[in-house]
Structure 1
Amino acid sequence: MASRITFIGAGNMASAIIGGMIDNGFPPAAITATSPSDAFLAPVHERYGIHTSTDNAAAVSQADVVVLAVKPQVMREVCEGLRDVVQRRRPLVISVAAGLDAESLERWLGGDLAVVRCMPNTPSLVGAGAAGLFANDRVSKEQRRVATELLEAVGLVEWVEEEALLDAVTAVSGSGPAYFFLMLEAMEEAGVSLGLPAETARRLAMQTALGAAKMAQQSDKTPAELKRNVMSPGGTTERAIEHLEGANLRRIMREALDACASRAREMSDELGER
């Protein structure tokens, strides 16, 4: 991995990546995180032993990689404030902000830069994330390797070769945890209606989701095959699956993901001011 990395922003996602990097052996002394507030930075410094600063430009001036981890609504102002130092330093720029295309980020930073867009998700906070990455034409093979290593510190990394596909990544994995939380919520409520205590229903639903995901990851079978393996002809699981299929669960999910991807495209246009 590159020798010096600066995180512009020190919120939850930046902290998760920093923690994963350190757990994977990256030296804290080579990491800097910035925030407008010293009070906000103090816990980050104490927890990880990294450098912290309220001066974005100074922190970037020695960086090989700059991770933009601020809210999309303030990204343009932050990037324009870094333009001069970024043009001098020429680091790899990685953005973990949703809804901002690489062209806008590069333009705000002065142009002609290696930019990687990353769409992570919230399970990155517990080291079980899934991230889609896109690189513009100026990103080298080595820089791709660096970006992969950095994001693999908190989970799975998948590259897409067309930036528009990040909207699909947003629909599947970026927003995806909420779909499963909704399923857990619904299963808990159903369990309660069948007589289980709420805590019992919640723990059973959560462990079942965890177990199903682990089985799917570790098996060479498709989800469809694994589903069939649970279903005995005329049995309880078959009855439940028939009900879900009859209620058009597949259509509901497809329409939900379509709506999510459509909103991601709208946000990119709005935030990029294109």
Structure 2
Amino acid sequence: MTDSNEKLTIGFIGAGNMASAIARGLIKKGHAPDKVIMSNRSKGKLDDLAAELSVRTTQDNQEVCQEADVVLLSVKPQMMADAIGRLDFTSVQCAISVAAGLPTEKLKTFTNNNVAIVRSMPNTPSIELCGATGLYADDDTKAKHSSAVNYVFGAIGKFEWVPKEDLMDTVTALAGSSPAYFFRFMETLIEAGIKQGMPPKTARNLVVQSALGAATLIDNHPNIEISERRKQVTSPNGTTAAALDSLEHSGIAKMAEDAVNAAVKRGQELADS
């Protein structure tokens, strides 16, 4: 059965890293390149994408709105008003913001309330098509447009809808920012291994593969709780138990909670600014 979403023309205002990643995911998924149109101020970036993906390109944002059924607003938050404030969205089915921190009401103001608005927060692993994206829209918009939105973000990984807009700040803390937390923890493990005498390349390979394996194991068996996996690895009075006891003594749960709270608070501050 043909997915009706394959017939959609999907447009991008802004062709940065995330927009490019989503476009690549769509093309890899089988979306026709002539049904993707991308605009950007830099012609060089557009030429590269046209050569790589065979998508349509333009430097005219209004052309994207005229041609596309779904438009992704993928410019920086501070540039959003200037980029879209004078555009006519009346022929667009829905616009999806990829800009962090901009609430729906601001986006509606920028678009003169002429289009249904969806907020998204993808994270950087989307570049490798294994991203985690949080989504929010009001009930009416979600009912009408979730199929198309799911189609877009399913091309770059997994997604979750949140029931309240203020949870988008938590999405940022748990998904948007969290790759950096995992990177930092991997850095510290590698550094600790090097201090024990391990060659740097060996330490890096062991830690990175272990992180990938742990995430894959959890992802491939969603019915098994993460805590159960932890217990399976932890023999009583063994090396893993000693390491976990040390982490708990150092306050790992409090550190994680504080990090999420800090990210949420900063997201709220940026939204209010």
Shared topology, TM-score over 0.5?
yes
Cα RMSD after superposing both structures: 1.1
Give the drift of 1:113: 2.6
Give the drift of 1:112: 4.8
- Asked whether the 8 Å contact 1:119–1:169 carries over to 2, the reply is yes
Q: Deviation per CA, 1:154-189, whole angstroms, max 9, x where unpaired? A: 000100110011111111011000000001100110
1:176 corresponds to 2:178: yes
1:17 corresponds to 2:10: no
TM-score, structure 1 as length reference: 0.95
Q: Deviation per CA, 1:29-65, whole angstroms, max 9, x where unpaired? A: 0110001121121101100000000000122112111
1:154 corresponds to 2:156: yes
Give the drift of 1:138: 4.1
Rounded to whole Å, the distance in 1 between the matches of 2:74 and 2:61 is: 12
Give 1:262's aligned residue: 265
Give 1:251's aligned residue: 254
Give the drift of 1:142: 4.2
- Asked whether the 8 Å contact 2:12–2:71 carries over to 1, the reply is yes
Letter in 1 for 2:234: M
Give 1:75's aligned residue: 80
1:228 corresponds to 2:222: no
Q: Secondary structure, in 3 states, of the residue corresponding to 1:164?
A: helix
Q: Secondary structure, in 3 states, of the residue corresponding to 1:195?
A: coil
- Asked whether the 8 Å contact 1:171–1:260 carries over to 2, the reply is yes
Letter in 2 for 1:26: H
Give 1:89's aligned residue: 91
Q: Which moved more, 1:223-232 or 1:204-213?
A: 223-232
Q: Deviation per CA, 1:45-86, whole angstroms, max 9, x where unpaired? A: 10000000000012211211110001111011112021xx21
Q: Secondary structure, in 3 states, of the residue corresponding to 1:81?
A: coil
Letter in 2 for 1:185: E
Rounded to whole Å, the distance in 2 between the matches of 1:138 and 1:194 is: 57
Name the count of aligned residue pairs.
Answer: 267
- Asked whether the 8 Å contact 1:112–1:138 carries over to 2, the reply is no
Q: Which moved more, 1:72-81 or 1:253-262?
A: 72-81
- Note the residue ranges of structure 1 that are not aligned, 5 or more in a row: none
Give the drift of 1:218: 1.8
Going from structure 1 to structure 2, the CA distance change for 1:218 and 1:140 (only over 3 Å counts) comes to closer
Which structure 1 residue ranges, 4+ long, deviate > 2 Å from structure 2?
none
- Asked whether the 8 Å contact 1:113–1:138 carries over to 2, the reply is no
Rounded to whole Å, the distance in 1 between the matches of 2:14 and 2:92 is: 19
TM-score, structure 2 as length reference: 0.95
Task: Give 1:187's match in structure 2, choosing from 171, 186, 189.
Answer: 189
Rounded to whole Å, the distance in 2 between the matches of 1:129 and 1:213 is: 13
